[in-house]
Structure 1
Amino acid sequence: MKLKTLIVLCITGLTLLSCGTESLTLVKNGETDYEIVHLDSASEIEKKSTQVLQKYLKQISDVQLDIVAESSQTAGKHKIYVGSTNQESLALHQVKIHSENGDLFINGGSDTAVQNAVYEFLEKYLDCKWYAPGAANIPKERNISLQPMDYSYTPEITTRTVHSRLFYENHEFADQQKVTYEAFPTYVPTARVHTFHRFMPEETFYQSHPEYYAMRGNKRLPTQLCLTNKDVLKIVTDSVASYFRRYPEASVISVSQDDNQQYCQCENCHRVDTEEGSPAGTMIHFVNEVAKVFPDKTISTLAYQHTRKPPKIRPEENVLITLCSIECDRSAPIAQNCEDFAQDLEGWGKLSDNIRIWDYTTQFTNFLAPFPNLYTLKPNIELFRDNNAKWIFEQHSNNPSELFELRSYITAKLLWNPDLDFNDLLIEFTDGYYKEAGPFVRKYVTAIHEALAENPDFFLFLYGDPSEAFDSFLNPDLLASYTTLFDDAEQAVASKPDVLARVKMARMSIDYATLEASRKNLTKNYSLTVTDSGGTESINPKVTLLLDNFSNTAKANNITLMNEMGFTVNEYGANYLSALETAKKPNKAKGKKVVSLTQPKKYANEDPMVLTDGALGGSSFYANWLGYEGNDMEVVIDLEKVQPISSISIAFLQVTNHVVFFPSEVTYLGSVDNTNFTPLGTLKNPHPLNKKSKVNDIQYFDLELEPQPVRYIKVKALNTPTPYWHHAAGLPSWVFADEIIVD
């Protein structure tokens, strides 16, 4: 790649400045008369920045420039000054790069800004690109000649975080993209978010002092704290002091609600919230009192779910409002599809200059699912920037998700400069990272976003599932076209194993969607089984090959998690193999009529026939599960004739953070007349619910019995009530069931 030799516009923010007239030839024919200079009193970061500059200049030209302190400069040599060597007065986050009399000055208003300025110089003027750890494009040039420059930029977003292990585990890459090394820089590490239960664990206080906790209806429950109780304020304040003593280097602590909306509705709390016009009223009154005790620290709190709407009271100066956009539809920009959030953002902006945005960029129930929200990243970050948000946390999945490297890269770039062009960034990354396969990956990105746009009523949710889109942007025809694009992409880089591995990782989301479409028996081509000309049914070999490829790609790239609930790729593979085994079993109940004696709710169109349709549920409750909220499941299957049976099986789902629990017991009964039922057997849940229960799991309740004639089978699954210690205490729980297998 040729270096940029055109005259560079001199920019300070968006204002043009005059430039000098003398060009700079840093390297000519493998030689240089430049040296890199830092202050005698330079910090370690500034010294490291000179080494970074030296390193990349050598990689580009094979020439190593000397690094010297200011007091040891060599007479007669041109200089590249790194740091405040010319004693400029710059803003804290400002970077400045300019030339003067043949010398080059790379400067910043702080140590970190100096570091940012070096990487900005390398990228902007020397065409260095860092796409992902171990994937860079550093040009090779025998000559480095630059036109005069006078560039200044001050990022409006001053704390930039992309929740991606690419940055957390690779600090050099984080420096290159100018984002933080961790999700919560300067926070007390064990008190970053949802801290009420940490300050006042129910195991310690609830039994002896239920009045410390939320009044829900006519009962106190340990879901949240009672924020008008003065003893609660004292205990929390003492806890905060203890945390700061334990972590004296920390400057921020979160004093924030637990992750539920079961806030206190006692008389005092209700009165304050009514006066303030929002449940955030009690929260800010409470947090303000804590903040007054620690004037030299920052007390962070959430504007999240029930506290998202701003109250009337102003937060104290040292209160950091963390405003969260969790509810928003991601199919279009927040300003368009989530106007309530945009209004709340504006409202908080009128109350405080200390706002941190907690935004979300992937699907947390299915990290690897297609999630076409890339076009919203830029307008959303612009919205936050335009409303004076200086600290933005983009909650990516941390663990690999769909187009993980691309998402991480573009999000970091836009946090540094929201005015960058998205399409330019997309082309830059896909061509640089996927090489010859780049155009095909771009076509996929374009196609899936256009397909979503054709369904403007589709709600793209952070807690959704691929199955929701099987009649939209993941319909069978589109799935086939996406697969073809990735086949073409692999073919384009077949001779480049490193790049081919990147493409295989990129296609995992479409392979995952295809596996889920097959689990649902979406069409003849997307099914778990195939039937030969003689009517014999067997496992679809395309599905087993796809599952192998998916699992192998995950293993090769250290991809271990499917979702935020801890459901692993290995568990997904094992459950899918179980589904294949289930699908090939003879099933006398398949396609038979099911009547529900209790009322299902919302999911699977409330159609009990989902229990015998041959499609199998996945790890999300959206995926083919019949749900019952707050009641037991009781259904009857008509086998259409009296016949001997020797086994019955049905699967149940557990997602504990969404109040989905395994039934406490399942009872099977048989009948020949649909009137008189005989018990066939009862199975207790072998893993009763407790605080350590697996968050996301599937369990089969299998009953073996001596062959006996039945026509009707009744299944009763008893709901497990929500325990008092669960974050949804006081709310009904769910039972989710899927395919009934009878033999």
Structure 2
Amino acid sequence: MKNNKRLLVTMKNIYIKLLIGFLGIIVISCKNNKQLQLVNNGTSNYEIVIAENFSNEMLAVSEELQAYIQKISTVKIPIVVENKVATNKYKLFLKVEDFNKNKLKIKVEETNNIVISGGSEIALKNAVYEFLEGYLNCKWYTPKVEDIPTQKIISLDKNIDFEYQPNITTRTVHSKLFYENPEFAAKHKVTTNAFPYYVPMARVHTFNKFLPEEVFYKEHPEYYALRGAKRLPTQLCLTNNEVYKIVKDSVASLFHQYPEASVISVSQNDNQQYCTCEKCKAIDEAEGSPSGTMIQFVNKIAADFPNKTISTLAYQYTRKPSKTKPLSNVLITLCSIECDRSAPIEEKCDDFSEDLKGWKQITENIRIWDYTTQFTNFLAPFPNIHTLQPNLQFFKNNNAKWVFEQHSQNPSELFELRSYITAKLLWNPNLDIEELITEFTNGYYKEAGVYVKKYIDLVHKKIQEDKNFFLFLYGDPSQAFDSFLNPELLKQYDSFFNEAEKVAASPEVLERIKCARISVDYAILEACKKGISKDFQLVIFDDKGNKNINPYANEKLINFYETCKKNHITLMNEMGFTIEEYYNGYRKSLEVATIPNIAKGKKVTLLTKPKKYANENPQTLTDGALGGSNFYANWLGFEGNNLEAVIDLEQSNNINSITTAFLQVTNHIVFFPKSVSYYYSNDDINYTKLGTVINDEPLTKTSKINDIKYFKLKFPNVSAKYIKVVAENMKEAPYWHHAAGLPSWIFADEVLIN
């Protein structure tokens, strides 16, 4: 009886196992019915099929597909032409088909054949990369860092039927990662240069190239803009018929020189000094915008070259649309340079939003020139990532087929991440931005990515909480020291990167983290220069009251400099201010900060009026905070007038040197003073001149764009209670400068008296 029971139990268990196995076979069978296997355990029953009359481009893209499938599975699927296919093989077709040139398709047919196609060879290449990334999970984070899965089986859903046509058809991210690495650019479907299809010599701001001031101005001032009562070579007079003839001839010559180019820029110089002569003014008033004369002029040029595209700018004074419609071969490049980057353009840049909508009503050819970094401080924290997607969606929805996202080109804050996600959103503005950021931080920074993501999340959260902050392309981190870069937050950001460095499991990942943190380190260095709290100072005092360099600031400076050098980061801003110059200048600041200065904290009385910057606070000159490379960074500014200041030393002191620092940013009309004179007094009535320091580097066309200069005077000992500083302003920009006729600035910082 017991044996019979055991037999029944055994048979029951066998039956259950058989039933489970049978059901498993059914499940697997159902699953397999929905899947096809491109590769299975070292073999493939597929071949890649290309057209019999294949081009080099077609062969190259098929070899790229073949190579990545081999990287994933070790299987090299053969490439064959259509007339040599094997009858017993499934087909992976690569085709250029007769539909929109930007459209792509990926489809699995009922026969289990796979068709990857595009309306052009470029679209086909995009389709192949879309297949590799979307269906085989390949990721390309930088030119040298990719994440390619390794697996013995590559399965695909049999129901794949994908097609996509990007709204933005010419996509550019201003990043050397793409410009210097065409293969990487292809994977992200962006251009390999800033101005594809353009004549190389005429891409933007071309008026001064067509009619150079050095050639024409002396004999023909009437070719140029009337400003007040004087003709100045700032812009062209667009109602002068001789100007039209010269530009037309120049355009013809350049197209002849570069026959492969299809676009040329006929566009204003980079200033707002347009012509106000009687004829130009009348047209602009009738058109409701200075773009009126521009569009009428450009239309005349475009009519002469009907088979080419004439690009022009809707930029600053020409941004508002004219009443005259651009011809069909005129490309309007609309620029968003003035916009606040702390929020999406539609929320905080009403004027630009309305202008884009206005251009949409009169033209189908719109190119957006957008900006995504701080050009005065490439390496500063610039929390605008949350605005990229809504801005691109806004551009797409308003007829922009061509978008140029001007990043720094050179390395900047989170450069690799920004390049990656901007390219992704240009291709598809509806992608999930949070998923993109997480995908990149986890893929590129690996185990440390969670801490980089914490920094990104927090800095963006804090700027969105500060509704009044204007995140400006030409701003400075010092503007945010009471906002998203306040002392407590700087310490928090610093701690995130400290944790990231601790968990980095390889030297490669550790170096990526060090590179990612340079923006926070830079903000901390600037915070120390300004002395924003007891934790962020250039100097500290020992128990005996002696001033010493703050080791925290010194360590940050060394790490910042060494990381930049190791990663070939060379530029601080668009003015050509180098890392080397910043490092040497900061060393000078550390030296200056430790020098005894009897003027520090002393009362300053201004005899001339400053304007706008440093809150117009005279104490900026003696507050102990040292100015940086940008005019927002603790500099007292004077527009068109001299600096005259008196410093009350409170009691008579024996002194023998006075030094004042001045800033130069020539493209923003900030020039060194012509001279600086120093005077002393003991009654604040009768002053004796100590001497004058002449600027030994007067302004020229080749002057350094961004610089700091110390005007130091040494003299025999005198006893003085009051010191007067007089810095002579150039008053206005020279005639050859883009701001000719406008008042020039001088910016002064710390006065050092010993």
Range into which the TM-score falls when normalised by the shorter chain = over 0.9
AA at the equivalent of 1:24 = L
AA at the equivalent of 1:418 = P
AA at the equivalent of 2:434 = N
AA at the equivalent of 2:349 = C
Aligned to 2:496: 485
Q: Distance in 2 between matches of 1:405 and 1:457?
A: 29
AA at the equivalent of 1:605 = N
Q: Distance in 1 between matches of 2:60 and 2:131?
A: 15
Matched, 1:704 2:714: yes
Q: Distance in 1 between matches of 2:589 and 2:35?
A: 68
Question: Secondary structure, in 3 states, of the residue corresponding to 2:264?
Answer: strand
C-alpha contact (below 8 Å) 1:616/1:739 kept by paired residues = yes
Matched, 1:577 2:587: yes
Question: Secondary structure, in 3 states, of the residue corresponding to 1:126?
Answer: coil
Matched, 1:112 2:122: yes
Aligned to 1:560: 570
AA at the equivalent of 2:101 = L
AA at the equivalent of 1:510 = V
Matched, 1:216 2:227: yes
Matched, 1:403 2:417: no
In structure 2, the CA distance between the partners of 1:387 and 1:21, relative to structure 1 (3 Å rule), is farther
Match of 1:644 among 632, 646, 654: 654
Would you say how many aligned residue pairs link Structure 1 and Structure 2?
Answer: 720
Matched, 1:670 2:680: yes
Aligned to 2:15: none
Q: Distance in 1 between matches of 2:684 and 2:724?
A: 9
Match of 1:333 among 344, 347, 361: 344
Matched, 1:302 2:313: yes
Q: Distance in 2 between matches of 1:708 and 1:255?
A: 61
> Could you say what the CA RMSD is over the residues aligned between the two structures, in angstroms?
1.0
Which range moves more in the overlay, 345-354 or 433-442?
433-442
Question: Secondary structure, in 3 states, of the residue corresponding to 1:25?
Answer: strand
1:714-742, CA deviations, whole angstroms, 9 ceiling, x for partnerless residues? 11100023100111111100000000111
Question: Secondary structure, in 3 states, of the residue corresponding to 1:83?
Answer: strand
Which range moves more in the overlay, 710-719 or 22-31?
22-31
AA at the equivalent of 1:613 = D
Match of 1:659 among 658, 663, 669: 669
Matched, 1:23 2:32: no
CA shift, 1:74, in A, is: 2.2
Matched, 1:360 2:371: yes
Matched, 1:418 2:438: no
Aligned to 2:694: 684
AA at the equivalent of 1:50 = S
Aligned to 2:165: 154
Match of 1:143 among 147, 153, 163: 153
Point out 4+ residue stretches in structure 1 off by more than 3 angstroms: 20-23
Q: Distance in 2 between matches of 1:524 and 1:137?
A: 44
Aligned to 1:14: none
Unaligned runs of 5+ in 2: 1-31
Question: Secondary structure, in 3 states, of the residue corresponding to 1:350?
Answer: helix
Q: Distance in 2 between matches of 1:197 and 1:107?
A: 45
Aligned to 2:63: 51
Aligned to 1:527: 537
Q: Distance in 1 between matches of 2:460 and 2:140?
A: 26
Q: Distance in 2 between matches of 1:246 and 1:715?
A: 56
Matched, 1:36 2:48: yes
Aligned to 1:10: none
Match of 1:441 among 441, 448, 452: 452
Aligned to 1:65: 77
AA at the equivalent of 1:195 = T
Q: Distance in 2 between matches of 1:354 and 1:42?
A: 33
> Normalising by the residue count of structure 2, what TM-score does the alignment of the two structures yield?
0.95
Question: Secondary structure, in 3 states, of the residue corresponding to 1:601?
Answer: coil
1:510-563, CA deviations, whole angstroms, 9 ceiling, x for partnerless residues? 000000000001111100000012111111111111001001111111110000
Q: Distance in 1 between matches of 2:248 and 2:480?
A: 47
Match of 1:131 among 118, 141, 155: 141
Aligned to 2:329: 318
1:137-166, CA deviations, whole angstroms, 9 ceiling, x for partnerless residues? 100001111111111111111000000000
Aligned to 2:25: none
Q: Distance in 1 between matches of 2:548 and 2:146?
A: 47
Aligned to 1:550: 560
1:74-110, CA deviations, whole angstroms, 9 ceiling, x for partnerless residues? 23111111123xxx43211011111121211111000
Q: Distance in 1 between matches of 2:464 and 2:105?
A: 41
AA at the equivalent of 1:580 = L
Aligned to 1:428: 439
Question: Secondary structure, in 3 states, of the residue corresponding to 1:344?
Answer: helix
Question: Secondary structure, in 3 states, of the residue corresponding to 2:333?
Answer: strand
1:332-372, CA deviations, whole angstroms, 9 ceiling, x for partnerless residues? 00001001111110100011000000000010000000001
Q: Distance in 2 between matches of 1:707 and 1:582?
A: 21
1:636-668, CA deviations, whole angstroms, 9 ceiling, x for partnerless residues? 111111111011111100000000000001111
Q: Distance in 1 between matches of 2:91 and 2:35?
A: 13
Aligned to 1:592: 602
CA shift, 1:22, in A, is: 6.2
Aligned to 1:632: 642
AA at the equivalent of 2:587 = L
Instruction: Summarize the alignment of residues 77-476 of structure 1 with structure 2, pairs less than 5 Å apart.
Output: 77-84=89-96, 88-100=97-109, 101-148=111-158, 149-476=160-487
Q: Distance in 2 between matches of 1:339 and 1:607?
A: 32
Q: Distance in 2 between matches of 1:684 and 1:714?
A: 16
C-alpha contact (below 8 Å) 1:24/1:103 kept by paired residues = no
Q: Distance in 2 between matches of 1:282 and 1:344?
A: 17
C-alpha contact (below 8 Å) 1:23/1:102 kept by paired residues = no
Question: Secondary structure, in 3 states, of the residue corresponding to 2:131?
Answer: helix
Unaligned runs of 5+ in 1: 1-19
Aligned to 2:514: 504
C-alpha contact (below 8 Å) 1:288/1:319 kept by paired residues = yes
Q: Distance in 1 between matches of 2:240 and 2:392?
A: 38
Question: Secondary structure, in 3 states, of the residue corresponding to 2:135?
Answer: helix
C-alpha contact (below 8 Å) 1:43/1:111 kept by paired residues = no
AA at the equivalent of 1:416 = W
Q: Distance in 2 between matches of 1:482 and 1:323?
A: 36
Q: Distance in 2 between matches of 1:466 and 1:26?
A: 52
Q: Distance in 2 between matches of 1:154 and 1:139?
A: 27
Q: Distance in 2 between matches of 1:503 and 1:190?
A: 39
Question: Secondary structure, in 3 states, of the residue corresponding to 1:198?
Answer: helix
CA shift, 1:21, in A, is: 6.7
CA shift, 1:167, in A, is: 0.3
Question: Secondary structure, in 3 states, of the residue corresponding to 2:445?
Answer: helix
CA shift, 1:673, in A, is: 1.2
Alignment identity in percent? 60
CA shift, 1:294, in A, is: 0.5
Q: Distance in 2 between matches of 1:409 and 1:103?
A: 32
C-alpha contact (below 8 Å) 1:671/1:677 kept by paired residues = yes
Aligned to 1:4: none
